[in-house]
Amino acid sequence: MKAQAKVLAISGGVGGAKLALGLSRVLGAGELAVLVNTGDDFTHLGLCICPDLDTVLYTLAGVVHPAQGWGRADETFGFMAEARRQGAPDWFALGDRDLVVHVERTRRLAAGERLTHITADFARRFGVDTTILPMSDTPVATLLDTDAGQLEFQHYFVRLRCEPAVRALEFRGASQARPTAELETLLRSPDLQAIVLCPSNPYLSIDPILAVPGLRAALRAARVPLIAVSPLIGGRAVKGPTAKIMGELGVQADLATVVRHYGSLVDGYVVDRVDESAARALGIEFTATQTLMQSLEDRERVADASLELAARLRAAAAPSGRRAS
Ligand code: FO1
């Protein structure tokens, strides 16, 4: 059997991509695979746009816009300037280099290629040796029921700047989705040693992935420790609407809520030092470090902490060869 990745990261959004980069740097080439949320995807100006796949691709390729965490670093906006002049919708910024990925993905999907295959080809062309796996080859769209009506994700997140109050989330197309063959092969491989849930928004970025039928069961059947990096630091999200949405959904924005939300899926947590006593009080398996990731060293430190906890839990479960929980 072809050698498979040692670690699977599960990621959505900018925060997830940051840890994916840290993991790719502490692991050898070809040792990491990233399962990416496609719930943020939408069709805009007739183009199939996959923001979370592109954020992981650009971040791992070292070409992402460093301050934004999405889009390209050295970018021009000739298309947008002309589009604005011609009255096209201009609320979603598409750089000239970024556009090529959207045009090519749209062309190749229309020609019948699977998103997983297109994504693997993009990774190869960008010199990325990490395997990037979409959570589904068929569309799954995150819809938000808000006080401004039902909104597609990018209309909520970008056009309305996360201002509407969220009442409920729906993942349209989830029931027709299935884990891909590539993911199933990776999860069944004896090479796999750990799964790391990145500090993405549990509701907006991770739940769409877990909504794919059979995916949660496939993760558990992998029999390796599943480590989650808490998306909150002392009850506050580093970036994005996590804490706001938790308030609107009527849950406390704290570690206890995250632990309850993930339930038996997660074997251990990486928490920030400010949440160490909360983690101890919850009686969970955990390790504490500074989880704010600003520098490359920060990302590598959180990656190391995740992998060390996974190794500790794997050793603890070793006699029976069963998973830690
Ligand atoms: N985010 C914004 O806040 N404003 C934008 O204009 C914008 C454009 C954009 C274009 C391509 C792309 O891949 C991502 C883009 N994003 C933009 C980020 C995107 O909305 C978010 O990163 C994810 O969907 C959140 O997980």
* pLDDT score at 325: 43
Q: Where are the alpha helices (H) located in the chain, listed in sequence order?
A: 13-26, 51-61, 78-85, 96-110, 115-125, 153-154, 181-188, 207-210, 215-221, 242-248, 255-262, 276-282, 296-317
The response to whether residue 159 sits with its C-beta less than 6 Å from ligand 1 reads no
Task: Name the residue range of residue 180's domain.
Answer: 7-43+129-142+172-317
Query: Does residue 51 form part of some domain?
Result: no
Q: Tokens standing for 168?
A: 């409920």
Helix (H, G, I), strand (E, B) or coil at 2: coil
Instruction: Give the Å distance between the CA of 90 and the centre of ligand 1.
Output: 13
3-state secondary structure 171-184: EECHHHCCCCHHHH
The response to whether residue 79 sits with its C-beta less than 6 Å from ligand 1 reads no
Number of domains in the chain: 1
Instruction: Give the tens place of pLDDT for each residue, 78-102.
Output: 999 999 999 999 999 999 999 999 9
Query: Does residue 28 form part of some domain?
Result: yes
Query: Does residue 36 form part of some domain?
Result: yes
Instruction: Give the tens place of pLDDT for each residue, 221-250.
Output: 999 999 999 999 997 877 789 989 999 999
Q: Tokens standing for 293?
A: 């990731």
Pocket test for ligand 1, best of 40, 77, 92 (most atoms within 8 A of CB): 92
The response to whether residue 70 sits with its C-beta less than 6 Å from ligand 1 reads yes
The response to whether residue 71 sits with its C-beta less than 6 Å from ligand 1 reads yes
Instruction: Give the Å distance between the CA of 195 and the centre of ligand 1.
Output: 26
* pLDDT score at 180: 98
Query: Does residue 100 form part of some domain?
Result: no
* pLDDT score at 2: 76
Instruction: Give the tens place of pLDDT for each residue, 269-300.
Output: 999 999 999 999 999 999 999 999 999 999 99
- CATH number, domain with residue 207: 3.40.50.10680
Instruction: Give the Å distance between the CA of 93 and the centre of ligand 1.
Output: 8
pLDDT bracket for residue 112 (50, 70, 90): very high
Query: Does residue 193 form part of some domain?
Result: yes
Query: Does residue 150 form part of some domain?
Result: no
* pLDDT score at 91: 98
The response to whether residue 241 sits with its C-beta less than 6 Å from ligand 1 reads no
Query: Does residue 158 form part of some domain?
Result: no
Q: Cβ neighbours of residue 231 under 8 Å, at least 6 residues apart?
A: 15, 199, 200, 201, 202, 237, 238, 242, 258
Instruction: Give the Å distance between the CA of 51 and the centre of ligand 1.
Output: 6
The response to whether residue 54 sits with its C-beta less than 6 Å from ligand 1 reads yes
Helix (H, G, I), strand (E, B) or coil at 135: coil
Query: Does residue 90 form part of some domain?
Result: no
pLDDT bracket for residue 322 (50, 70, 90): very low
Pocket test for ligand 1, best of 44, 158, 245 (most atoms within 8 A of CB): 158
Query: Is the pLDDT at 16 greater than 50, yes or no?
Result: yes
3-state secondary structure 19-69: HHHHHHHHCCCCCEEEEECCCCCEEECCEEECHHHHHHHHHHHCCECCCCC
Q: Which atom of ligand 1 is nearest to the CA of 154?
A: 20
* pLDDT score at 324: 46
